[in-house]
Amino acid sequence: MKKIYTLAIDTSCDDTSVAVLCNDRVLANIVSSQIDIHKGWGGVVPNLAKRAHQEMIDSCVDLALKRSGLKDIKKINVIAVTYGPGLAPALEVGVSKAQELALKNNIPLVAVNHMEGHALSVFLKNKVGKNYAKLPSDINKTKFPLLALLVSGGHTELVLVEDFGKYKIIGQTLDDAAGEAFDKIGRMLGLGYPAGAVIARFAEKGNRNAYKLPRPMEHSKNYDFSFSGLKTACLYQTNDLKKELGEKGFAKIIPDYCASVEEAIVDSLIGKTVKAIKEYKPKMLVLGGGVVVNKRLRAKLRKALKALNIPIYFPDKQFCQDNAAMIGLAGYLKFLRGEIVKDIPLLQRKPSLGIEDDN
Ligand code: AMP
Ligand code: ZN
C-alpha cells in the first residue's frame, strides 16, 4: 500500500495539537494542554485560548515532525486541519497555520470535522501497526453501519456511520452536553474545572444509590439526550443538603453525591445507546470524546452490549481527549476520497459545523 504522510492540526478548543501519521499509523501526536490557563476562570476563555494556540502552534509542528522521524515538512503528502466545530478564535489559529504551511510547501489541504475525528479515533494504530483499541480487522475491512456515541464537553451525539464520510445524527443533546453536566455539577460541589475526572474519582468510593436523581428523557421515544433537568435537580438538592448538613457535613457526603451524579449521567447515555442499537442493528459500537475515559461508563456499556451481542470499542485514553491524530486519520481517509480544499486561501473556520454537514 502506498505510504501517505499526513500532518494534522487541531486547535478547536483548549488543546494545541499536531500529529504526523503514515496512513492510519500515528508517528507522533503532540498535545499542549491549556487547562492551567483556563482553570481559574471555570471554563475555556476563547481569547486566552487563541493566544495560547498562537504561542504554541509552531513549536508543536516542529516537535511533531521531529518525533515522527520525518523531520522535513517536504515529506508530508497532505495537511489536515480541524475547521469546525469549536471556538472561532481557537479554530482560526489552526486553520491559518495549515493554510500557511500548505501554500508555502505546495501540499494539498484537507478540512476535517472535529467530531468525525472523535468518531474515527478507535481506528488509530501505533507506529508498528497495532490498533490501539484492539479492533480485530483492518480499517479497509470495516463493516457498516457503525454506531458512534460521541461524548465530550461540548457534544453528546449518537451518530450512525453508514460509511467513512457518511454520517447521520440519530440523537443528540437538546441542552447541555454530558461533559458540561459533569463540569457544571462539579462547580456546584466546589470541585473546580474541569470536574468530570474529579467526580469520577470520588464516585469510586461512593454509594451510587445514595441520592435519587432524574434520568431526563429516559422514556422518550427518540434518541435525544437532555442534562439540564439533572443539573437543576442537583442545584436544588445540594442547596437543601448544605442547609441541612452544614458545610462540614456536606463535605462528607461528596463521594456518595458524586457516585449518584455519575450513575445518572451514565444511565442516560446507556439507555439511549441501547435503544438505538436495537433499532439500527449496527455491526459495532465505537466511542469518542473526553467523557469516554469514564470507567463506570465503559464497564456498564460493556455489560449492556454483551447482552446484545454487539462488539464495542473505546479509543485509547490519549485519543479520547482532543488530539490531532484523530484529525489526521479522518483527513487521510478524506484525501483518499479526493476531498481536498480547492481554494486554500478561502477555507474558513466553521464554529457550528455539524458532522452531517460535510457528508
Ligand atoms: P473534550 O470536550 O472531549 O475535551 O472532553 C472534556 C470533558 O470530558 C470535560 O467536560 C471533562 O469534565 C470530561 N471528563 C474528563 N474525564 C472524565 C471522566 N473520567 N469522567 C467523566 N467526564 C470526564
Ligand atoms: Zn473534542
Residue by residue, pLDDT tens for the chain (359 residues) are: 899 999 999 999 889 999 999 999 999 999 998 888 777 787 788 888 899 999 999 999 999 999 999 989 999 999 999 999 999 999 999 999 999 999 999 999 999 999 999 999 999 999 999 999 999 988 999 999 999 999 999 999 999 999 999 999 999 999 999 999 999 999 999 999 899 999 999 999 999 999 999 998 888 989 999 999 999 999 999 999 999 999 999 999 999 999 999 999 999 999 999 999 999 999 999 999 999 999 999 999 999 999 999 999 999 999 999 999 999 999 999 999 999 999 999 999 999 999 998 76
Q: Which of 17, 261, 287, 291 to mutate to test the pocket of ligand 1 (most atoms within 8 A of CB)?
A: 291
Q: Among the bound ligands, name the one nearest to the CA of residue 183.
A: 1
Q: Among the bound ligands, name the one nearest to the CA of residue 117.
A: 2
Locate the ligand 1 atom nearest the alpha carbon of residue 295 and give its number. Answer: 19
CA 333 – CA 6 distance, rounded (Å): 10
Q: Among the bound ligands, name the one nearest to the CA of residue 86.
A: 2
- Name the packing angle between helices 254-280 and 178-188 (round to 10°): 170
CA 210 – CA 158 distance, rounded (Å): 29
Write the CA distances from 158 to 9, 75, 165, integer angstroms. 25, 37, 15
Q: What is the pLDDT of residue 217?
A: 87
- Name the packing angle between helices 254-280 and 196-203 (round to 10°): 110
Q: What is the pLDDT of residue 227?
A: 96
CA 149 – CA 119 distance, rounded (Å): 8
Q: Is 17 in the pocket of ligand 1 (CB under 6 A)?
A: no
Number of other residues whose CB lies within 10 A of the CB of residue 147: 25
132: which residues sit within 8 A by CB, 6+ positions away? Answer: 122, 124, 125, 126, 315, 316, 319
Closest residue to atom 11 of ligand 1, CA basis: 196
- Name the packing angle between helices 295-308 and 254-280 (round to 10°): 30
Q: What is the pLDDT of residue 1?
A: 80
pLDDT in tens, 69-111: 998 999 999 999 999 999 999 999 999 999 999 999 999 999 9
Indicate the helix (H) or strand (E) that contains 54: helix 46-68
CA 81 – CA 6 distance, rounded (Å): 10
Closest residue to atom 3 of ligand 1, CA basis: 290
Q: What is the pLDDT of residue 342?
A: 97
Q: What is the pLDDT of residue 43?
A: 78
Q: What is the pLDDT of residue 359?
A: 67
